[in-house]
Amino acid sequence: NRKMFMEALEAACAKATDDRLVAVIAIDLDGFKPVNDVLGHHAGDLLLMKIARRLLDLTENAPGALAARFGGDEFLVMLQEVNGPEAAESFAERLREELRQANLISGHRVAIDATIG
């Protein structure tokens, strides 16, 4: 996943112009470690899969967008053909709001936040 993302990012950057920008949004899940510690690694894995599905759902509707798990509780989203920083910021805020939605994991309601940059 990481290798594929980096190859796609390299290709997108090679095609980037002043009118065709590329943005990379880094996402680190806040409060993920306690999920593993309290509910176990299986619950943590289920949460990561739910987060990944949400990211994929959001990026499927954005032309040239790509999401990938980069490691642990870190994800990257690449946006191609971005009009400017404001468009990337707006998309990042939508990501954050979506990630804040509670998840039902092993019968427990789990809410997490994300640091996004």
> Do residues 83 and 107 make contact, with C-beta atoms less than 8 angstroms apart?
no
Active site residues: 73
Torsion region of 27: left, alpha or beta (phi above 0 gives left; psi -120 to 50 gives alpha): beta
- The whole-angstrom separation of Cα 115 and Cα 99 is 10
